[in-house]
């Protein structure tokens, strides 16, 4: 006779909706092997094709100067710190050129809440990228950055995003989500926008036809119920707008941060969060394996726990590197990991559309 947990899992695998209370039970009671089996089943239902995807992209860290000074971040520096930097437009364009020459379909612009951040400078940069590299899709400006532009310009979120889109912004990354629970945010990122404002930015972006990703950094001291609250807020907004292209869970990397005394989430914890995310987020099509934070072996195993995407080799990622995370995979290794998991690799674009299928 099936247990109540097994019934929840079987229903979720078939596309039935998991309640918040049920998801908390899955965190606390479900066997990891059962979670993996049913999350894999849910993934195959959503992606019955034999492919699992990867991208060729580049992350460009435009500055490490940030007023938010989040306690979980090892990358930021105060404005006058000897290690502080801010790339010029030409330096950013040079990096975009390297990405284009390497066959990248898109670049992610990753910055901070710096004194130089403003709508006009962002527009100027986007226009320059579009003029010089029209084929490159720009995935950039996280909700905290867009909020800062909005406040500095005295404009609504919709107005700021409309101008950024007109200048060449293609989509918005899910950075700054951490845990969408203000109790946690007040502890780990008290100077950053609250959960409702993050959701408001994403709602405004979706209203303009801009796709976005959603992320979750877990291991920050949140409870199981707070993790589920985060997932529920993503799912509710997706019900409303349909604008999230993917969900990306990231285990917290405590090295060299103000929270360095906290235990790093284990590989098993990552797989549990990943599997429950796949089962709970029944309306988000893509879930990404965060191999950069957990390493190639667990990243590959994630394809058996609900993930359908391996993301991209990382050439210039600096935020996680600042916390001591140094995992790397080449394109050859990513393709091999997909094959070893029993699938065929397929290249995708920034919006998760397959652009080249491989044997």
pLDDT tens for the chain, 359 residues: list them: 579 999 999 999 999 999 999 999 999 999 999 999 999 999 999 999 999 999 999 999 999 999 999 999 988 999 889 999 999 999 999 999 999 999 999 999 999 899 889 999 999 999 999 999 999 999 999 999 999 999 999 999 999 999 999 999 999 999 999 999 999 999 999 999 999 999 999 999 999 999 999 999 999 999 999 999 999 999 999 999 999 999 999 999 898 898 999 999 999 999 999 999 999 999 999 999 988 888 889 999 999 999 999 988 865 545 445 444 556 788 999 999 999 999 999 999 999 999 999 87
pLDDT the model gives residue 336: 93
Asked if residue 319 is part of any domain, the answer here is yes
Give me Rg for the CA atoms of the chain: 19
- H/E stretch holding 61 reads strand 57-61
- Residue 320, Cβ density class (10 Å: 0-12 exposed, 13-18 middle, ≥19 buried): buried
Domain of residue 132 covers 18-349
Residue 50 lies in a domain: yes
Q: Which residue in 233, 352, 192, 218 sits closest to 285, CA to CA?
A: 352
pLDDT digits (tens, 9 = 90+) for 270-289: 999 999 999 999 999 999 99
Q: Is there a domain that residue 356 lies in?
A: no
In a domain, 13, yes or no: no
Residue 189 domain-assigned (yes or no):
yes
Maximum C-alpha span of the chain? 65
Please name the residue that has the structure tokens 């306690």: 71
In a domain, 10, yes or no: no
Whose structure tokens read 């400006």? Answer: 141
- Nearest to 124, CA basis, from 174, 171, 163, 170: 163
Residue 113 domain-assigned (yes or no)? yes
Q: What is the DSSP string of 163-192?
A: HHHHHTEEEE--TT-S-S-HHHHHHH-TTS
5, part of any domain: no
Question: Whole-model pTM?
Answer: 0.95
Structure tokens belonging to residue 56:
């060729």
End-to-end CA distance of the chain: 42
CATH value at residue 48: 3.20.20.70
Residues written for the chain: 359
CA distance 154 to 95: 31
Task: Using alpha carbons, select from 311, 269, 299, 331 the residue that is nearest to residue 32.
Answer: 269
Total tally of structural domains belonging to the chain: 1
Instruction: Write down the pLDDT at residue 325.
Output: 56
């Amino acid at each position: 006779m099936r247990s109540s947990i097994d019934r929840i899992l079987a229903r979720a695998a078939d596309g039935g909706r998991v309640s918040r209370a049920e998801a908390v039970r899955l965190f606390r009671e479900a066997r990891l092997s059962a979670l993996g089996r049913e999350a894999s089943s849910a993934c195959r239902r959503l992606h019955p094709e034999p492919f699992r995807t990867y991208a060729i992209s580049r992350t460009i860290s435009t500055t490490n100067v940030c007023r938010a000074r989040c306690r979980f971040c090892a990358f930021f520096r105060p404005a006058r710190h000897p290690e502080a930097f801010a790339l010029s437009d030409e330096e950013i364009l040079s990096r975009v050129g390297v990405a284009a020459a390497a066959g990248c379909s898109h670049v992610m612009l990753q910055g901070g809440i710096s004194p130089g951040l403003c709508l006009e400078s962002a527009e100027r940069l986007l226009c320059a990228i579009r003029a010089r590299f029209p084929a490159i899709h720009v995935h950039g400006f996280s909700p905290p950055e867009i909020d800062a532009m909005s406040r500095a310009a005295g404009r609504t979120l919709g107005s700021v995003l409309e101008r950024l889109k007109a200048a060449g912004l293609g989509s918005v990354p899910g950075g700054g989500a951490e845990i969408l629970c203000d109790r946690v945010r007040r502890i780990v990122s008290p100077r950053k926008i609250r959960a409702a404002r993050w959701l408001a930015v994403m709602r405004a972006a979706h209203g303009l036809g801009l796709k976005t990703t959603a992320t979750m950094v877990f291991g920050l001291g949140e409870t199981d119920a707070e993790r589920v609250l985060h997932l529920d807020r993503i799912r509710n907004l997706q019900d409303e707008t349909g604008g999230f292209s993917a969900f990306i869970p990231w285990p917290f990397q405590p090295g060299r941060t103000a929270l360095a005394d906290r235990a790093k989430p284990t590989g098993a914890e990552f797989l549990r969060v990943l599997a429950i995310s796949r089962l709970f987020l029944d309306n988000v099509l893509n879930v990404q394996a965060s191999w950069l934070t957990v390493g190639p072996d667990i990243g590959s195993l994630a394809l058996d726990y609900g993930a359908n995407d391996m993301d991209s080799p990382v050439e210039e990622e600096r935020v996680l590197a600042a916390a001591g995370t140094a995992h790397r995979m080449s394109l050859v290794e990513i393709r091999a990991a997909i094959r070893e998991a029993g699938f065929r690799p397929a290249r995708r674009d920034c919006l998760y559309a397959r652009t080249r299928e491989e044997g």
